[in-house]
Chain A
Amino acid sequence: MLVLTRRPGESIMIGDDVVVTVLDVRGDVVRVGIKAPRSVQVHREEVYRELQKANLDAASPSEHAVEVLSEMLRSGGGPSGQ
């Protein structure tokens, strides 16, 4: 891992268009600002990992699970007017 020392107000460039700026340091809390193009998603790591796992769990359900679910949604009425 690359380790750099920065002071509040100083930044780091990642590639050509991602800028990470240290805004503020108080005790054990660091506030960081990130400027990145829209195609680059920026998330807290733990949130991203949780979502990644949820997506992996949701991907490609078994035919049986799909049948159970569509049956439940059908018999349960689903949205009003159906």
Chain B
Amino acid sequence: MTAAATSTLETAETVDVPVLDFVSAIPGFPAHRRFVLVRVTEEGVLFALTAVDDPELRFLAVPPAPFFPDYAPEIDDESMAALGIRSTQDVQNLLTLVVVTAGETAGSSTANLMAPIIVNQKNQRAIQLVLSGSGYPIHAVLMPR
């Protein structure tokens, strides 16, 4: 874990590398609950989520706002509680990311708007929300605006 984290971050302090703790497993990966969140490039919006106990397992993610400005996932009370959000003030600690499926060519990458990753930056708890019935697509084309 530290190897993967430090090689990506180089000079940054390892203590600042957030390790996310998924309150329930990401569907498809029941054995992995802890992921390191780092930026792929210094100036970009691309993040990588790397499994603490398996550095080979990595997801790409982006904040949705620059790409999908109208995107407003609704977080149910159960998920809010699981993330440790108790007041409306706590809500500002939430970070939303959407998982990206990287295509081999520009323009073929997609973002999963149906199941965003919500992070409570205060306690590093995370969850992959499942917005079934929301109409949000699981593969939305990711294009810079």
Set B25, B26, B41, B112: member contacting A70, Cβ < 8 A: B41
Q: Is A54 an interface residue (CB 8 A)?
A: yes
Interface-located stretch among A1-9, A10-18, A19-27, A74-82? A74-82
Q: State the interface size on chain A (CB cutoff 8 A).
A: 38
Majority-rule SS of A interface residues? helix
Known: A66-B60, A78-B66. A54 touches B24 (CB 8 A): no
Q: Please, how many angstroms separate the alpha-carbon atoms of A61 and B145 in the complex?
A: 23
Known: A59-B59, A61-B60, A79-B65. A39 touches B23 (CB 8 A): yes
Interface contact A62-B144, CB-CB below 8 Å: no
A81 to chain B, nearest CB (A): 10
29 contacts between A and B (CB under 8 A): A43-B132, A50-B138, A51-B28, A51-B112, A51-B114, A51-B115, A53-B28, A55-B27, A55-B29, A55-B128, A57-B101, A58-B59, A58-B60, A59-B29, A62-B102, A62-B104, A65-B109, A69-B106, A70-B40, A73-B44, A73-B45, A73-B46, A73-B144, A75-B144, A77-B144, A77-B145, A78-B144, A79-B45, A82-B43
A-B interface, 10 closest residue pairs, ranked by CB to CB distance from nearest: A76-B144, A79-B66, A65-B102, A61-B102, A55-B28, A52-B28, A58-B101, A72-B106, A47-B132, A52-B27
Which of A's residues lie within 8 Å of B, judged by CB? 38-41, 43-44, 47-48, 50-62, 64-66, 68-80, 82
